[in-house]
Amino acid sequence: MKYLICCLGNIGDEYANTRHNIGFIIADAIAQSAAIDFKLDKLASRAEMKHKGRQLIIIKPTTYMNLSGKAVHYWLQKEKIPIEKMLVVVDDLALPLGTLRLKAKGNDGGHNGLISIIETLNSNLFPRLRIGIGNDFAKGTQVNYVLGRWTKEEEKILIPKIKLSVDLVKSFAMRGIEMTMNEYNNK
């Protein structure tokens, strides 16, 4: 069985280790856990791993966040993976820092990456892991906050959640969305 793990972020050094790039951070942690490397491919950096009989194709779109749907659509079609076997990993301002929320479907929550995917696929019926980045910013400074780097205090909260997110992704492929939601959504 094949699964597409779409970890959203923006390419380029100026975006590395920013709040908006938590998807890329999780993708790198998944790759590190399996001792695999990403290779530049069409519309994304791509890595592939096996986990207990499951094949996970992990992508980091190179289309920038606002056009993530283009890469997601391409890889779903190329790998012939059904939408319910795709997991999108994305940051979320509405959740407290470090909160993990796995859902089987949902709206875009104002997130440009999810907006692009929903519009491109013409569906919101796909699993997504939303990772809380908090919303500790003054009015009018949301862009600076989202594109800002993690503070040392935030990193202390976030680092254990990265490992937990890697375990969650593997559980999604092994045990499915329902069992994984039941186990991880309250951690």
Tell me which residue of 112, 109, 117 sits closest to 66, measured CA to CA: 112
pLDDT of 40-77, one tens digit each?
A: 999 999 999 999 999 999 999 999 999 999 999 999 99
> Can you list the domains of the chain with their CATH numbers?
2-184 (3.40.50.1470)
pLDDT one-digit tens code per residue, 82-98 = 999 999 999 999 999 99
Which band of pLDDT confidence, cut at 50, 70 and 90, is reported for residue 133? very high
Long-range contact pairs involving 24-31 (C-beta distance under 8 Å, separation at least 24): 24/60, 25/162, 26/89, 26/129, 26/131, 26/162, 26/165, 26/166, 26/169, 27/58, 27/59, 27/60, 27/89, 29/162, 29/163, 29/165, 29/166, 30/5, 30/56, 30/58, 30/166, 30/169, 31/58
Single out the catalytic residue among 20, 51, 73, 111. 20
Confidence of residue 13 (pLDDT cuts 50, 70, 90): very high
Confirm whether 73 is a catalytic residue.
Answer: no
pTM of the model: 0.95
